[in-house]
Structures are given as C-alpha cells and as structure tokens.
C-alpha cells in the first residue's frame, strides 16, 4: 500500500510510511505539517492530505478485495489464478468486473435458461464448430422444462452466451475504454419545459464528448435533469463497440457463429451498455464533484484568509428599504453595545433623523469603522452614510453579507444572543466579519457561505471532509487567541474539536483568562496528546513567557532557552533584538529530533511572534452613480471585487446587486486554464462591461487589456505623400 501511494504521488516510501504512522498516533494535519517537518521531509498540508486520502481509498479497496475473496471461496470457486488477479487489482471497477460472474444475483434470463438445462447447448454454440444447429438444439426440447421448440432452445442459449460475454472481465475493460474515449454527453429539453427552464437554455440542444465536458457543465445538466427540465444521455460509439465485441467473440460465420453475433448484440444492448453508461454517469459525476469541491475549497480558503480590519470600534448596518436598516455598535473586541433601526430610504424616508442617529452614535461610541452589508439597499445606504460628512478617518466599507442570514437563524447565534432577534444578529455578524472574517465565518456551515459551484449537488461527505480540512488549515495558519476565541473557532484548532473547545470556554468563564499555555492542561479532558496537538496554535497574549504568544511549540521552549543562555540573554531579548538573532548559529542546535526546517521556523517566529499571515486590510469603493443593473452600459469601465471563482471564470461585484461574470476567455490576452492563475477571492479588479441581459440578470465583463483601451480610428493613406512619409504620419497619429 505504501509503495503504491509513494509511486503514484511521487513521494519517498519513507515519507508515506511516516505520514501513515503519525496519523495512526493521533496526529492532525496542521500539527504534522508544522511541527513534524523532519519526520515527513517538509511535506506541506496539501501533500500530507493527498497521502492520507489515497491511503484511505486503498484501504477501502483492500477491504472490498477481502470480502470478494471470502465470498468466492465460500462458493468453492476460488482458484489461485483468480485470487492472484483479485489481489493485484488496483481499480474498483475492474475488481467488480472480476467478481461479477460469482456475484449472487436475482433471477435473470440466463439463470432461467440454465434451469431449463440449456447451458451445454450454449457452450457448444459458443465454440462455433461446424454442426447441424437445428438438430443439436432439438435435443433440448422438453415440454416439462418449458422448451417447446428449437427457437426456444436457441433463444435460451443466446441468453446464456449474452451473460457470459457481459461477465467477461477483459471484454468489459475493452468496452470501458471505448466508452471513455467515444461517449457523447447529450442533453435535450423536455417538451413544454422551455419557459420554466430558461436558465438552462444553453443546454436545450447540447452534445459534446464526455471526456471534454467540464465539471460545471456536467453538474448543471445533472441538476436540470433532477428538476425534470432536461433529459441526459451518455452514449458511446455503438458501431465501434459492436465491431470490437464481434472481434473478441465471433470466430466463424457458420450457423453457430450467427447465433453468437445475435447474442453479442443482445449482450451489448441489454447488459453491457446500460451498465457502463451508469458507470460513466457515476464516474463523470465523481470527477465533476472532485473538481467542484476543489474550487469551492480554494474559494473558502481565500475567503477565510481575507484581510481583517482588526480590533476597531465598529458600527454595522444591515441595509433594507421597507423594513429599515438594522444598526449595531460593537466595541473593539466585537461585543454588542447598542442596536436600533433607522429608516433613511423609501417608503418612510426618515433620512434626517437617520443621519442624526448615526452621527450621534459615532460620537458616543467613538466609532472607527462602519460596515455596510452589500445586499438589498446596500449601495444606497453606503451613499447615504458617505454623504453625512463624517470624519475622513472613519472607514466606510461594503461587506459581503453572504451567509449572515444563515448565521442569524442558527443555534450558534441564538446561544450567543438569546434575547435578540435575527435582524440584530445579522448586523452583528456583518460588523464582526469586517473585523475578523475568519473568526466570524467559522460559525457558518462552509457550504452556506455562497462562494461555491454547485456545492449542494456534490458528494456531501467528500465536501465536508475537504471543507473541514480547509477551515482547520486556515484557523491554525493564523493562530487563535485562547482568551477571546469563540468555541466555534476553538473547535477547529488542531487536536481540540467541539467538546474540548466548550471545556476551554467553560474553564475560562469559571476561572478567568488563561495566563499561560501550560494552564490549558487544567482543562477537563485535556490530555497530553490533545495538548501536544493544539498548544502551538493557541496564543496567550501578555503571558509571563513571551513564547506563549508565538507559534513556537512548548516542546521547543528549552531549545529557545538554550539559544538565549548561549548568548547570555533572555528569550524576550531574542524577540526584541534582531542583532542577537543574527548571532544564532542554528546548525549548532541540530539533533536527532530537531533539524534545520524546525530551527528556521523558530527563528522566523522569534522575529515576528504570532505573526498574522493574512494581508493588510485595504478599503474599497465602488464607482459613484452605478447602483443598479439598469445603470450599466456596454463599454463602461468599472472597478469591482472578485466574489466567487469557478472553473469557467470569476464573478465580480461591481455594486449593482448582481455580480458580473468574467469568463476565462475574457481574463487575459492568453489562454487561461485556471482562473486562480489570474484572480483571487476579494481581489480588486478593473473590468469593462461587454454585455448586459437585464431579463436574465446576467452581466458579462472583460479584464482583457485591448478591450479596455480606446480603439484607434482607421486611417486613410494620403496618396500625395511618399510611402515613408505616410508611415511616419500614421505612427505619429497612433502614438498621439
């Protein structure tokens, strides 16, 4: 197993073996990647996860092999050759092919024919020797067994041959290869569903090779099929498939051979084709799921790692027209201080009173930033607030509120604010999301955040595993302040989980703030292994030991003390004085447990203890006067924010309550395979409007440079000038 994974993923066998061992010992992905670099050869989290997942897949395959061998053995049909084939099989579909002839099955046409005693005739026909067919078949006529004539005997024999062909492993593999190379994915709209299925109209008459179909198209068509808008068909090149089948099974053109031709065609139409089409549907779905999950996980990672505003006194506004704007004031730690509703828009239009309320609260709570949700009335509210003449030092920021409503109605929100309604909770979430996106977004189920691609259609178990990995990686990359973190944030720290996270919060509430990392050992159920896994990712600011606020693991404190002792100073001096760090000769501290990778990490952490890897926050402003889709015109140049990345492009918020799409073909003046090569979630981009479809609420944008530059007018050569003069004139005009 280890050898196979190492070969497939191009790692050393010792690396795969060590990763397997560390997970078996209770290691977590972030801990192994960060604190066991010497053991794994400095594999990163993605590589370690790939090894873990492949090992899990192979374990499933091995268990299936054991079950199959046991089943065939109990039937008394297991040969050494068959057992060897099963043990060497590395693909689940091929393994099931080997098992198919021995798999217990319900009554089939072939089993009925065998009960009538027709198997010897079928095998004789399959040999395709020259013999009088009708005379041989006549021997099997039996009124008692239900074989009334020669045709009954031949028909039953063909049923048996069809099943033999279907259950032949090499034949199925040959046909599987043909299916994969030639299968066409076709979609057609059901009659009368044209109006209801307008969003799928691009696929009303669609056909393309299955192996070329991208993930998003497969998932879109499958969703339309489930909604009974489209019919989906996956069909191979039948002529080629039958030709190959006949080449394998038909040995003669005599009477017996003609029966085999009929049986082979029946086998293909009735047994092989439906089975392999189902397999192709499942296989294409699995690949589409994997790609969609990969894209979604990367989007979530970028969203979680978005730049935080930091600890600022914040006013948050959840905008609305008829129901008003819900306003809350938060302190620098995100604690709710005040809430009320204001009505600056239609129909109430209490703009004067709303403005005075905002100005009063800004002064009362010394507000440093204002977060405004980007949903309904978001742009109008932003324009209103910016027109109040507030201090320029107060940042007014539009915040993506996707998922805020999910949070406000969740058990987490009810527990946090039991006496507040969902509108207040939603506004609080918007404000906190500006202050620290990671800490707030972990409270929402990742697939509800709204940055995915058909996330509700993919394998939910696989999606959860992938997203849990991403959230855990993000949380541990940033680190968590143990004295202020919510239990939701703590639950993603390596080695903790929901139970220990709750215990930490309960202990903190009962005993006051933690004063050191070692104090965590007093938390109920915090064993040595859990402490080992989580300690390096938890921060205790203002602790007596300055290393408690860093990513240096407690198991390496003695090593740092040795460095300080050798330089006749304290650990705090190594943090505050770069000249002392430069004197450290790290090779001196290499031993059997600690190598250069860990020592380099320690020095980097001493230089910037507890460093936040996220980028610095940068405020963004939409273009004034562009607030709804009807304001857009073709050729208009705008600035926007990337809100979602898919396999086919990126969606950009340009401030009109409807994101525009920059297709991959419009991202750059070259071929773009992966949009992540060009953009990241939350990135500010310059775009040009290419097309606006108000009816379908679709906006097409481009980031291509030549489409954003003015096109020079066509020039006419003046015949009275020489050729050189004409060229010089053109160059001068083009340059100007």
Residue by residue, DSSP assigns 492-534 as TSTT-HHHHHHHHHHHHHHH-S--SSGGGGGSTT--HHHHHHH
Tell me the pLDDT band of 400, cut-offs 50, 70 and 90. confident
Maximum average pLDDT range among 105-114, 156-165, 713-722: 156-165
69-74 long-range Cβ contacts below 8 angstroms, 24+ apart: 71/99, 71/102, 71/103, 71/104, 72/99, 72/102
Quick one: pLDDT at residue 530? Answer: 95
Element (H, E) at 339: strand 336-342
Please tell me the distance from the alpha carbon of residue 461 to that of residue 293, in angstroms, as a whole number. 11
Please tell me the distance from the alpha carbon of residue 553 to that of residue 428, in angstroms, as a whole number. 34
Quick one: pLDDT at residue 242? Answer: 94
- Locate 735 and state its tokens: 């340059």
pLDDT tens, position by position, 629-651: 888 899 889 998 898 888 889 99
Give the least confident one: 352-366, 677-691, 712-726: 712-726
In CATH, the number for domain 112-298 is 1.10.3500.10
| Residue range 119-131: mean pLDDT, rounded | 93
pLDDT tens, position by position, 640-695: 889 888 888 999 988 888 889 999 899 988 888 888 888 888 888 999 999 998 88
- Tokens 């090149």 correspond to 237
3-state helix, strand, coil in the chain (%, to 5): 55, 10, 35
* Model confidence, pTM: 0.78
pLDDT tens, position by position, 170-214: 999 999 999 999 999 999 999 999 888 888 888 999 999 998 888
The CA-to-CA distance between both ends of the chain, in Å, stands at: 68
- Tokens 């507030």 correspond to 390
Quick one: pLDDT at residue 276? Answer: 92
Quick one: pLDDT at residue 728? Answer: 66
- What CATH fold (topology level) applies to the domain 2-102? Arc Repressor Mutant, subunit A (1.10.10)
Write down the architecture of domain 620-736 according to CATH.
Beta Barrel (2.40)
Tell me the pLDDT band of 716, cut-offs 50, 70 and 90. very low
Please tell me the distance from the alpha carbon of residue 374 to that of residue 430, in angstroms, as a whole number. 10
Question: Residue 411 pLDDT > 80, yes or no?
Answer: yes
What per-residue string of b and e applies to 473-495 under the rule 16 or more CB within 10 Å gives b?
bbbbbbbbbbbebbbbbbbbbbb
Radius of gyration of the chain, Cα coordinates, nearest whole angstrom: 34
Quick one: pLDDT at residue 719? Answer: 45
Quick one: pLDDT at residue 711? Answer: 41
| Residue range 564-582: mean pLDDT, rounded | 91
Count other C-beta atoms under 10 Å from residue 372's C-beta: 29
Please tell me the distance from the alpha carbon of residue 618 to that of residue 682, in angstroms, as a whole number. 10
Quick one: pLDDT at residue 715? Answer: 42
Q: Please give the share of the chain, as a percent, with pLDDT higher than 90.
A: 57
Quick one: pLDDT at residue 718? Answer: 42
pLDDT tens, position by position, 324-356: 999 999 999 899 999 999 999 999 899 999 999
pLDDT tens, position by position, 506-518: 999 999 999 999 9
In a 13 Å sphere around the CA of 141, the CA atoms on its Cβ side amount to 10
Quick one: pLDDT at residue 735? Answer: 58
Q: Please give the share of the chain, as a percent, with pLDDT higher than 70.
A: 95
Which is more confident, 673 or 121?
A: 121
Q: Which of 639, 650, 710 has its CA nearest to residue 675?
A: 650
- Locate 625 and state its tokens: 């006067």
- Where are the chain's structural domains? 2-102, 112-298, 314-435, 552-607, 620-736
In CATH, the number for domain 314-435 is 3.30.420.140
DSSP single-letter state for residue 147 = B
Quick one: pLDDT at residue 199? Answer: 86
Mean residue pLDDT across the chain: 89
Quick one: pLDDT at residue 458? Answer: 84
Question: Residue 721 pLDDT > 80, yes or no?
Answer: no
DSSP single-letter state for residue 307 = P
Tell me the pLDDT band of 463, cut-offs 50, 70 and 90. confident
Quick one: pLDDT at residue 732? Answer: 64
């Amino acid at each position: 197993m280890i050898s196979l994974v190492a070969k497939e993923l191009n790692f050393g066998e010792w690396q795969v073996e060590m990763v397997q061992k560390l997970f078996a010992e209770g290691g977590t992905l972030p801990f192994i990647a960060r604190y066991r670099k010497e053991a794994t050869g400095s594999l990163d989290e993605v590589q370690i996860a790939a090894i873990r997942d492949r090992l899990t897949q192979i374990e499933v395959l091995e268990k299936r092999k054991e079950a199959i061998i046991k089943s065939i053995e109990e039937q008394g049909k297991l040969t050494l050759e068959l057992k060897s084939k099963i043990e060497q099989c590395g693909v689940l579909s091929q393994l099931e092919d080997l098992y198919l002839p021995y798999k217990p099955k319900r009554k089939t046409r072939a089993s009925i024919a065998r009960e009538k005693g027709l198997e010897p005739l079928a095998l004789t026909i399959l040999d395709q020797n020259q013999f009088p067919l009708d005379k041989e078949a006549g021997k099997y006529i039996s009124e008692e067994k239900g074989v009334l004539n020669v045709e009954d005997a031949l028909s039953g024999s063909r049923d048996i041959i069809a099943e033999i062909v279907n259950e032949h492993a090499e034949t199925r593999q040959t046909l599987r290869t043909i299916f994969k190379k030639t299968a066409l994915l076709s979609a057609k709209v059901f009659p009368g569903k044209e109006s209801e299925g307008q969003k799928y109209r691009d696929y009303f008459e669609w056909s393309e090779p299955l192996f070329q179909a991208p993930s998003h198209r497969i998932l879109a068509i499958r969703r339309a099929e489930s909604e009974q808008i489209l019919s989906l068909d996956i069909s191979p090149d039948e002529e080629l498939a039958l030709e190959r089948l006949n080449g394998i099974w038909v040995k003669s053109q005599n009477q017996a051979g003609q029966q085999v031709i009929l049986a082979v065609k029946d086998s293909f139409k009735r047994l092989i084709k439906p089975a392999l089409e189902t397999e192709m549907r499942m296989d294409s779905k699995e690949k589409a799921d994997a790609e969609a999950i990969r894209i979604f996980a990367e989007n979530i990672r970028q969203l979680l790692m978005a730049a935080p505003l930091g600890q600022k006194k914040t006013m948050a506004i959840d905008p609305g027209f008829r129901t008003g704007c819900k306003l809350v004031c938060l302190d620098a730690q995100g604690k709710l201080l005040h809430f009320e509703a204001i009505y600056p828009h239609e129909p109430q239009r209490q703009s004067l009173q709303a403005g005075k309320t905002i100005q009063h609260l800004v002064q009362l709570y010394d507000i440093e930033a204002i977060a405004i949700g980007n949903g309904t009335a978001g742009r109008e509210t932003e324009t209103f607030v910016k027109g109040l003449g507030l201090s320029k030092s107060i940042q007014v920021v539009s915040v993506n509120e996707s998922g805020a409503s999910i949070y406000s109605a969740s058990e987490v929100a009810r527990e946090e604010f039991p006496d507040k309604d969902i509108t207040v909770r939603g506004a609080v979430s918007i404000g906190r999301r500006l202050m620290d996106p990671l800490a707030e977004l972990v409270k929402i189920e990742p697939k509800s955040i709204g940055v995915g691609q058909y996330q509700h259609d993919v394998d939910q178990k696989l999606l959860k595993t992938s997203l849990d990995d991403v959230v855990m990686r993000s949380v541990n990359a940033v680190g968590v302040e143990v004295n202020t973190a919510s239990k939701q944030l703590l639950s993603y720290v390596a080695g903790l989980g929901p139970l220990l996270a709750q215990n930490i919060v309960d202990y903190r509430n009962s005993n006051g703030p933690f004063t050191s990392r070692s104090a965590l050992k007093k938390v109920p159920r915090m064993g040595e292994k859990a402490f080992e896994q989580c300690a390096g990712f938890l921060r205790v600011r203002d602790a007596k030991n300055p290393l408690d606020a860093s990513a240096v693991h407690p198991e390496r404190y003695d090593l740092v003390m040795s460095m300080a002792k050798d330089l006749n100073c304290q650990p705090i001096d190594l943090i505050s004085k770069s000249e002392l760090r430069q004197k450290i000769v790290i090779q001196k501290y290499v031993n059997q447990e600690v190598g250069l990778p860990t020592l380099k990490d320690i020095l980097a952490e001493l230089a910037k203890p507890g460093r936040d890897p996220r980028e610095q926050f940068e405020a963004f402003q939409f273009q004034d006067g562009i607030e709804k889709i009807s304001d857009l015109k073709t050729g208009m140049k705008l600035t926007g924010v990337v809100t979602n990345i898919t396999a086919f492009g990126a969606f950009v918020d340009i401030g009109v309550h409807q994101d525009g799409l920059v297709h991959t073909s419009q991202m750059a003046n070259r071929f773009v395979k992966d949009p992540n090569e060009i953009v990241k979630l939350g990135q500010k981009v310059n775009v040009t409007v290419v097309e606006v479809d108000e009816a379908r609420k679709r906006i097409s944008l481009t980031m291509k440079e030549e489409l954003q530059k003015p096109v020079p007018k066509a020039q006419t050569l003046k015949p009275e000038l020489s050729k050189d003069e004409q060229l010089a004139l053109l160059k001068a005009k083009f340059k100007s």
